[in-house]
């Protein structure tokens, strides 16, 4: 193996300023796909180990490995007004773009807002915000355009019961360590907290994990 | 099949990736005075002493160079029979790549030494010969008891 690195990528490759072009570029398109470039990169490893690096790894390797529990939960995390909430991914049937809601005449429930057409099936449109008494939100203020861009409809189902509710934003499915889920503070007494199974932190957000059984039974009760 | 590739001199050697638990940098080893010469020392691997073989010493009688690309492969060593896996460190120079090779492309090595036949199979390609190191054959039966003792002794 030769020790001198010829930096052809800077002279005739993609990082060159001149007009000279390496003939291999036609084939590999970019220097990073070229074996000359990758072998030059690997040859950087052909240097003496710094003593402190060696000490660091010796100490690190001697430590007992931390065994984490491998129990995880897949949770879909969404925002409702000001609050970040999560539901187990298996309860979520579908997430779709916003659709028009059709009001139900003489409906007395303030949770049920109407009916929505999802692939030809009429489903109940409920307001999670009203059920959980979550404010519309002042913390996340977006323009109308941005807002409508982020809003989604979430379709949840359990034992052939389906509900549709709008959310302000969805940030996808996340896998959470079961033992990173904290208990809900006992002093928290509002309707949202009483529907939570736990709390966890996702990046900088505090996310409330909704108790799905409780949620469905509350929704059922709100129909009458 | 996935193999871990390393180089000694200009020659290429591979180890079955399934045998490799972890690839770690060349950490400092503790001396293991009663061990044979090709054992470079004991590596403290998560609190367990793991005897580590210097592959270059085994093959060329020269110690591996302390380079960034020289790494310790923590492998599962099983002498066969009793079923228990031991941990073995394999110090390999230029261990920076994995390679996918067809198992059927390997042939039995023609020359088998009686003492340590750790090169079990070989393959040739455009760049030359690739030798497959059989991890379980790396330690001769004579040295096995020195490194791991017999289980009965350890228990007493």
User: Any idea where the domains of chain A sit in the sequence?
Assistant: 8-62, 69-222
Q: Which fold has domain B2-149?
A: OB fold (Dihydrolipoamide Acetyltransferase, E2P) (2.40.50)
Is B47 a residue whose pLDDT tops 90? no
A162-193 pLDDT, tens digit per residue, is 999 999 999 999 999 888 899 888 777 778 88
The pTM (predicted TM-score) of the whole model is 0.58
pLDDT computed for residue B153 by the predictor: 42
* CATH of region A69-222: 2.40.50.180
- Gap between the Cα atoms of B91 and B23, Å rounded: 10
Would you place residue A2 in the very low, low, confident or very high pLDDT band (cuts 50, 70, 90)? very low
Residues of B in Cβ contact (< 8 Å) with A51 = none
Cβ burial of B109 (10 Å; 0-12, 13-18, 19+) is middle
Quote the minimal CA–CA distance from B114 to chain A in Å: 33
Question: Degrees (nearest 5) of the Cα angle B5, B8, B9?
Answer: 135
Give the integer Cα–Cα distance in Å for B150 and A19: 69
Report whether pLDDT(A102) > 60: yes
> Which chain A residues have any C-beta within 8 angstroms of a chain B C-beta?
42, 44-49, 53-55, 57-58, 61-65
Q: Which of the four pLDDT bands, split at 50, 70 and 90, describes residue B44?
A: very high
Kindly state the average pLDDT of the residues A23-42.
Answer: 85
Given a cut of 80, whether residue B122 has pLDDT beyond it is yes
pLDDT given at position A76: 96
Residue-level pLDDT at A27: 86
Minimal CA separation from A130 to chain B, in Å: 53
Chain A residues inside the 8 Å CB shell of B98: none
Query: Is residue B152 scored above 50 in pLDDT?
Result: no
The ipTM of this complex is 0.81
Greater model confidence, B85 or A167: A167
The partner residue sitting opposite B45, judged by closest CB among A47, A54, A61, is A61
Mean pLDDT value across chain A: 86
Best mutation site among B6, B10, B23, B25 for testing chain A: the one with the most A CBs within 10 Å?
Answer: B25
């Amino acid at each position: 193996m030769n020790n001198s690195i010829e930096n052809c990528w800077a002279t005739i490759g993609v990082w060159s300023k001149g007009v000279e072009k390496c003939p291999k570029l036609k084939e590999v398109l970019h220097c990073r796909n070229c074996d000359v470039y990758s072998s030059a990169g690997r040859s950087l490893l052909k240097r003496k180990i710094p003593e402190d690096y060696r000490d660091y790894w010796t100490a690190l390797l001697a430590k007992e490995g931390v065994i984490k529990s491998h129990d995880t939960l897949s949770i879909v995390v969404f925002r409702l007004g000001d609050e970040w909430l999560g539901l187990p991914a298996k309860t979520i049937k579908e997430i779709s773009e916003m659709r028009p809601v059709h009001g139900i005449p003489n409906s007395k429930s303030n949770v049920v807002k109407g009916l929505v057409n999802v692939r030809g099936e009429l489903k109940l449109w409920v307001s999670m915000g009203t059920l959980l008494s979550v404010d519309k939100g002042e913390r996340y203020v977006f323009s109308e355009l941005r807002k409508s861009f982020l809003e989604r409809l979430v379709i949840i189902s359990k034992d052939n019961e389906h509900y549709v509710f709008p959310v302000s934003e969805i940030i996808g499915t996340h896998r959470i360590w079961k033992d990173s889920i904290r208990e809900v503070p006992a002093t928290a007494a509002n309707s949202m907290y009483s529907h939570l199974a736990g709390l966890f932190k996702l990046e900088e957000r505090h996310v409330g994990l909704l108790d799905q059984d409780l949620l469905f039974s509350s929704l059922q009760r709100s129909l009458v | 099949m996935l193999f871990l590739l390393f180089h000694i001199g200009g020659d290429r050697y591979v180890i079955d990736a399934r045998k490799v638990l972890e690839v770690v940098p060349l950490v400092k080893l503790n001396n293991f005075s009663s061990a044979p010469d090709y054992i470079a020392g004991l590596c403290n691997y998560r609190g367990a002493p793991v005897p580590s073989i210097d592959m270059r010493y085994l093959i060329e009688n020269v110690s591996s160079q302390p380079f960034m690309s020289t790494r310790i492969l923590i492998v599962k060593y099983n002498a066969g029979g009793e079923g228990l896996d031991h941990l073995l460190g394999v110090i390999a120079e230029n261990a920076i790549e994995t390679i996918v090779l067809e198992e059927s492309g390997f042939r039995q090595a023609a020359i088998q030494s009686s003492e340590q036949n750790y090169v079990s199979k070989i393959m040739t390609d455009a760049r030359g010969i690739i030798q497959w190191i059989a991890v379980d054959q790396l330690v001769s039966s004579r040295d096995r008891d020195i490194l791991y003792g017999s289980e009965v002794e350890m228990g007493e």
